[in-house]
């Protein structure tokens, strides 16, 4: 337990507010984790799975009204409304604090309050930050112990400093009407009530590592981004690193753990995973941009994960993993989800815990796992985890990739003209919505840099910060690209095979960074000729590839109208540079 006065005073305050019967400090030790797992099983919060097939693995079911992030109930509580900007919900802290404290008041009577000291990033790294979360949920404690670095070494690292983030989580009654996920960037404070679902309650993740950290980054010349980080090793043993920002459930975990196609593997190519969801980036001593993954585990989408699509993710879930809202196979007490294999278990419980006959229900089109069901797996389980994973300086970034889920219009890949044009490309990202947040699925919306739900301040200031970082980086700035794995044909089939074959696109991207690959200059940027992408060992028609590389100026002119409309939101706060980028794009399209 810490002796830090600011931490102790706040925990005392939390105790007085929520009136738990007991306070338990989490030290992250194996013994304590074992005790908590046993307790969680006793009270029905976790179900222990088959110890032989899935050692130290557990299943959790959330309340049926609590299965994804709730963007409509997520607030940025900056003192001034303007500082939250037009893309965030805002609440006046003068209103928010009393309202939230009133909801949380006495909510832990008869319960235990757990205090979790955690570090985002390797303990002691100059890029890392420390937080304390109080919670009444053992599920949250055990997830945080996988997703972050937890325990006594964190207390020690913080010492007497007051530089840490407060996180109050209380499940209260899991009442949707009183569910709030509130952020106070000016106070380093996060308050989450009436939820028990991942992104709403694992406060180190989206709340801290993106919403609060993006604000810290703006003020201290670094960047907190919704990005995976991966290393690509070539046959000479050289490793180049890239980051990629895709919206929720649009392929970050899959790309981060990709296995290159056989031909590449034979030649000695390899992919190393540094992170699958969040990157913190800072300019290093040599002037290049360095990234760390602030997390210590993967909170991944289960459906669609299988031996073929993402063997590394699947391998990561075979030990010490918590599964949330998947199917429980009662025959051997293991788990199943749509897309794991073609054999849904007949004797099973669905994600709600109801009897579920897999083959019968599947034939009727009824899913067993929730579309946003997840696994929480230790990063160390991943067969391709990067040797640089715990490195305190991070990895130097050669390329930044933006991408989304677009059935049409956006080509498979293109390169921006330069950094500022790349910021423009990120700012105009649009993607179809997914089950990762509550609300309609499949609706195209603008999601700049995949940060729409995660930027903790005014989005136009965030764009300006990107432009500023480009100035600081100068000619050492990573090159910026955009990808789209999700183009569909008229029948709704994917035109690009995706997954491991995305390596073919990454190869072109790295070659472009080294000035070694050819490209066609189009109105939106540089696009490979079909011949520039290596198709060896892949069964795809060249015409199909050409069609998904084609830049249709007519469609893009319509797209530009949508961008103009979106930009209007930001009024005169929009950086002039981006306005100019839009203008010159329209000029090039009309030529
Ligand atoms: P969050 O954890 O919500 O941030 O999601 P994510 O961006 O990590 O997405 P993830 O890799 O979990 O993929 C989400 C869904 O997209 C899964 O169902 C995948 O099977 C699917 N997917 C990922 N990559 C590809 C791809 O290259 N092509 C196609 N067609 N689908 C993909
Ligand atoms: C996302 O939605 O982008 C996730 C899952 O990574 S959550 O932790 O719920 O935000
Ligand atoms: Mn995510």
| Domain assignment present for 278 | yes
Task: Supply the mean pLDDT for the chain.
Answer: 98
Residue 189: HSE in the Cβ half-sphere, 13 Å Cα cutoff: 17
| Domain assignment present for 550 | yes
| Domain assignment present for 456 | yes
Domain end among 195, 220, 245: 220
Q: CATH number for the domain including 318? A: 2.170.8.10
Q: Which residues of 133-163 are buried (b: 16+ CB within 10 A; e: fewer)?
A: bbbbbbbbbbbbbbbbbbbeebbebbeeeee
Q: Which numbered atom of ligand 1 lies nearest the CA of 502?
A: 27
Domain end among 362, 381, 400: 381
Of 322, 302, 68, 298, the residue nearest 197 (C-alpha) = 68
CA of 301 to the centre of ligand 3 (A): 9
118-128 mean pLDDT:
96
Of 239, 230, 297, the residue nearest 257 (C-alpha) = 230
- Regarding whether 430 and 373 lie in a shared domain, the answer is no
CA of 376 to the centre of ligand 3 (A): 13
Q: Would strands 129-135 and 165-170 be described as parallel, antiparallel, or unpaired?
A: parallel
Name the band, by pLDDT with cuts 50, 70 and 90, for residue 393.
Answer: very high
Tell me how many domains the chain contains: 3
CA dihedral (424, 427, 428, 429) positive or negative: positive
Rounded distance between C-alpha atoms, residue 397 and residue 513, angstroms: 11
Name the band, by pLDDT with cuts 50, 70 and 90, for residue 305.
Answer: very high
Domain end among 200, 220, 240: 220
Q: Which numbered atom of ligand 1 lies nearest the CA of 247?
A: 7
Name the band, by pLDDT with cuts 50, 70 and 90, for residue 320.
Answer: very high
| Domain assignment present for 52 | no
- Regarding whether 339 and 466 lie in a shared domain, the answer is no
Q: CATH number for the domain including 570? A: 3.90.228.20
530-540 mean pLDDT:
96
Name the band, by pLDDT with cuts 50, 70 and 90, for residue 269.
Answer: very high
Residue nearest ligand 1's atom 20 by CA: 304
CA of 250 to the centre of ligand 1 (A): 4
250 is catalytic: yes
| Domain assignment present for 232 | yes
- Regarding whether 558 and 418 lie in a shared domain, the answer is yes
pLDDT in tens, 466-519: 999 999 999 999 999 999 999 999 999 999 999 999 999 999 999 999 999 999
257-274 mean pLDDT:
98
pLDDT value at position 312?
A: 98
Rounded distance between C-alpha atoms, residue 502 and residue 479, angstroms: 18
Find the ligand nearest to 147 CA.
2
- Regarding whether 512 and 397 lie in a shared domain, the answer is yes
| Domain assignment present for 55 | no
- Regarding whether 307 and 455 lie in a shared domain, the answer is no
Of 228, 246, 253, best ligand 1 pocket probe by most atoms within 8 Å of the beta carbon: 253
Residue nearest ligand 1's atom 4 by CA: 248
- Regarding whether 432 and 572 lie in a shared domain, the answer is yes
139-162 mean pLDDT:
97
CA of 440 to the centre of ligand 3 (A): 18
- Regarding whether 189 and 255 lie in a shared domain, the answer is no
Ligand 1 residue neighbourhood (C-beta within 6 Å): 246, 248-254, 276-277, 300-301, 303-304, 309, 436, 485-486, 494, 498-499, 502
Residue 336 pairs with which residues in a beta bridge? 327
Name the band, by pLDDT with cuts 50, 70 and 90, for residue 448.
Answer: very high
Of 69, 293, 435, best ligand 2 pocket probe by most atoms within 8 Å of the beta carbon: 69
Rounded distance between C-alpha atoms, residue 307 and residue 364, angstroms: 25
CA of 198 to the centre of ligand 2 (A): 7
Rounded distance between C-alpha atoms, residue 231 and residue 246, angstroms: 17
CA dihedral (317, 240, 425, 288) positive or negative: positive
Contacts of 291 (CB under 8 A, 6+ apart): 227, 229, 241, 243, 274, 275, 279, 280, 281, 394, 395, 397
Q: Which helix (H) or strand (E) holds 120?
A: strand 112-120
Of 8, 38, 34, 33, the residue nearest 23 (C-alpha) = 8
Ligand 2 residue neighbourhood (C-beta within 6 Å): 69, 198-199, 205-206, 248, 277, 299, 436
Q: Which numbered atom of ligand 2 lies nearest the CA of 202?
A: 8
DSSP for residue 546:
H
Model confidence at 390: pLDDT above 90? yes
pLDDT value at position 58?
A: 99
pLDDT in tens, 41-86: 999 999 999 999 999 999 999 999 999 999 999 999 999 999 999 9
- Regarding whether 325 and 248 lie in a shared domain, the answer is no
302-316 mean pLDDT:
97
| Domain assignment present for 471 | yes
Find the ligand nearest to 205 CA.
2
Q: CATH number for the domain including 82? A: 3.40.449.10
Q: Which numbered atom of ligand 2 lies nearest the CA of 277?
A: 6
- Regarding whether 301 and 281 lie in a shared domain, the answer is no
Model confidence at 1: pLDDT above 90? no
Residue nearest ligand 2's atom 8 by CA: 199
Find the ligand nearest to 206 CA.
2
CA of 69 to the centre of ligand 2 (A): 7
- Regarding whether 370 and 348 lie in a shared domain, the answer is yes
CA of 535 to the centre of ligand 2 (A): 33
Marked catalytic residue, from 77, 145, 172, 250: 250
Rounded distance between C-alpha atoms, residue 362 and residue 204, angstroms: 36
Model confidence at 562: pLDDT above 90? yes
The boundaries of the domain holding residue 345 are 297-381
| Local structure of 285: helix, strand or coil | coil
246-274 mean pLDDT:
98
User: What does residue 583 show for φ and ψ, rounded to 5 degrees?
Assistant: -60, -50
- Regarding whether 173 and 84 lie in a shared domain, the answer is yes
Q: Which numbered atom of ligand 1 lies nearest the CA of 276?
A: 8
Residue nearest ligand 1's atom 24 by CA: 251
Rounded distance between C-alpha atoms, residue 131 and residue 158, angstroms: 9
Find the ligand nearest to 437 CA.
2
SS3 readout for 143-170: HHHHHCEECHHHHHHHCCCCCCEEEEEE
Q: Which numbered atom of ligand 2 lies nearest the CA of 197?
A: 9
| Domain assignment present for 549 | yes
Contacts of 42 (CB under 8 A, 6+ apart): none
CA of 340 to the centre of ligand 2 (A): 20
Model confidence at 294: pLDDT above 90? yes
C-alpha distances (whole Å) from 442 to each of 125, 248, 445, 566 are 40, 12, 9, 19
CB 459 within 8 A of CB 448: yes
Of 209, 272, 276, 222, the residue nearest 248 (C-alpha) = 276
- Regarding whether 322 and 375 lie in a shared domain, the answer is yes
Residue nearest ligand 2's atom 5 by CA: 199
């Amino acid at each position: 337990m810490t002796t830090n006065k600011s931490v102790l005073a706040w925990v005392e305050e939390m105790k007085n507010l929520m009136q738990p019967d007991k306070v338990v400090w989490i030290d992250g030790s194996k013994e304590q984790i074992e005790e908590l797992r046993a307790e969680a099983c006793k009270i029905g919060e976790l179900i222990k799975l088959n110890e032989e097939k899935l050692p130290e693995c557990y299943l959790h079911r959330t309340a049926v009204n609590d299965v994804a992030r709730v963007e409509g109930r997520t607030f940025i509580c900056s003192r001034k409304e303007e500082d939250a900007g037009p893309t965030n919900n805002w609440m006046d802290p003068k209103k928010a604090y009393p309202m939230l404290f009133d909801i949380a008041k006495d909510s832990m009577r008869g319960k235990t309050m757990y205090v979790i000291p955690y570090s985002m990033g390797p303990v002691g790294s100059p890029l890392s930050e420390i937080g304390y979360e109080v919670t009444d949920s053992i599920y949250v404690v055990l997830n945080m112990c996988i997703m972050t670095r937890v325990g006594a070494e964190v207390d020690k690292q913080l010492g007497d400093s007051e530089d840490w983030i407060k996180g109050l989580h209380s499940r209260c009654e899991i009442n949707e009407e009183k569910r709030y996920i509130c952020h106070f960037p000016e106070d380093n404070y996060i308050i989450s009530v009436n939820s028990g679902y991942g992104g709403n309650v694992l406060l180190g993740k989206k709340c801290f590592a993106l919403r609060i950290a993006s604000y810290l980054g703006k003020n201290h010349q670094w960047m907190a981004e919704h990005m995976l980080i991966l290393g690509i090793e070539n046959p000479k043993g050289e490793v180049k690193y890239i980051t990629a920002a895709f919206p929720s459930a649009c392929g970050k975990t899959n790309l981060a753990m990709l296995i290159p196609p056989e031909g590449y593997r034979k030649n000695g190519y390899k992919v190393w995973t540094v992170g699958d969801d969040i990157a913190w980036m800072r300019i290093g001593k040599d002037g290049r941009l360095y990234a760390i993954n602030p997390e210590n585990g993967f909170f991944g989408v289960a459906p669609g994960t299988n031996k073929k699509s993402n063997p590394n993710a699947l391998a990561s879930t075979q030990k010490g993993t918590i599964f949330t809202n998947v199917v429980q196979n009662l025959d051997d007490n293991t788990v199943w989800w749509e897309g794991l294999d073609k054999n849904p278990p007949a004797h099973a419980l669905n994600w709600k815990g109801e009897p579920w006959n897999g083959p019968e229900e599947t034939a009727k089109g009824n899913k067993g796992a929730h579309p946003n069901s997840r696994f929480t797996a230790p990063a160390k389980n991943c067969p391709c985890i990067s040797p640089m994973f715990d490195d305190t300086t991070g990895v130097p970034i050669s390329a930044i990739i933006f991408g989304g889920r677009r059935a049409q219009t956006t080509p498979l890949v293109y390169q921006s003209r330069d950094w500022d044009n790349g910021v423009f490309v990120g700012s105009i990202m649009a993607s179809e919505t997914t089950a990762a947040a509550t609300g309609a699925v499949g609706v195209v919306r603008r999601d700049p840099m995949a940060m729409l739900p995660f930027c903790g301040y005014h989005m136009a200031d965030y764009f300006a910060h990107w432009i500023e970082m480009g100035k600081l980086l100068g000619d050492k700035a990573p090159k910026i690209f955009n990808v789209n794995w999700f183009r569909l044909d008229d029948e709704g089939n994917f035109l690009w095979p995706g997954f491991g074959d995305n390596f073919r696109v990454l190869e072109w991207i790295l070659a472009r960074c080294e000035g070694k690959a050819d490209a066609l200059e189009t109105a939106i940027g540089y696009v490979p000729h079909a011949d520039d992408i290596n198709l060896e060992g892949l069964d795809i028609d060249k015409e199909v590839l050409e069609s998904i590389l084609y830049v249709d100026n007519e469609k893009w002119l319509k797209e530009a109208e949508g961008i103009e409309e979106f930009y209007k939101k930001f009024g005169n706060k929009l950086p002039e540079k981006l306005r100019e980028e839009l203008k010159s794009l329209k000029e090039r399209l009309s030529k």
